[in-house]
Amino acid sequence: MADCLFCRIVAGEIPAAIVKRSDAALAFRDIDAKAPVHLLVIPTKHVAAVRDAKGADGERLLGRLLAFAAEIAAEQGLDRDGYRIVTNTGRNAGQSVDHLHLHLLGGRKLTWPPG
Ligand code: DGP
């Protein structure tokens, strides 16, 4: 999508600290990191939010994104102490970029519940 910030990062039009990419997903550092490791894992194809990942293709995509995030967490050395994967959906959750993204947070003790 031409006016989507994360699509522009996928296309290389906006710079980002890219950590890993696959054919279906891209992981890069969040510009406003809330933890020592704070990455965003996004599909390379535009999907607005988790609620829009529907049907067999949506299920496959969500599975691949989650597996990709877990793989990166291991590579970032987060397996031993743990980490959090979260996706904000819609206004009440504070979603600010309408391109599906998993936040991968780790490297410190995370509090629960989130605000
Ligand atoms: P959310 O609030 O769940 O929609 O998360 C969006 C995240 O995207 C937020 O933590 C900040 C991050 N972000 C916004 N703009 C940029 C950008 O231009 N580059 C990078 N790397 N991250 C961004």
Please give the sequence-ordered ranges of beta strands (E in DSSP) within 6-115, or none if there are none.
18-21, 25-29, 37-43, 83-86, 102-106
Q: Whose CA is nearest to atom 17 of ligand 1?
A: 31
Instruction: Domain of residue 35: give its range.
Output: 5-106
Q: What CATH number is attached to the domain comprising 71?
A: 3.30.428.10
DSSP 72: H
Give the separation between CA 98 and CA 80, rounded to whole angstroms: 32
Would residue 111 count as lying in a domain? no
Distance 34 CA to ligand 1 centre (A): 11
Kindly indicate the confidence band of residue 18, based on its pLDDT and cuts at 50, 70 and 90.
Answer: very high
pTM over 0.95: yes
Q: Residue 97: CB within 6 Å of ligand 1?
A: yes
- Residue 2 clears pLDDT 90, i.e. is over it: no
Would residue 74 count as lying in a domain? yes
Could you identify the residue written with the tokens 């629960």? 112
Would residue 114 count as lying in a domain? no
DSSP 43: E
Looking at the structure of the chain, the number of domains it has is 1
What size, in residues, is the chain? 115
> pLDDT tens digits for 62-103?
999 999 999 999 999 999 999 999 999 999 999 999 999 999
Is 46 annotated in the active site? no
Would residue 58 count as lying in a domain? yes
Half-sphere exposure of 32 (CA within 13 A, CB side): 2
Would residue 66 count as lying in a domain? yes
Would residue 15 count as lying in a domain? yes
Output the pLDDT for position 1.
85
- Residue 115 clears pLDDT 90, i.e. is over it: no
Output the pLDDT for position 77.
98
Share of the chain above pLDDT 70, in %: 100
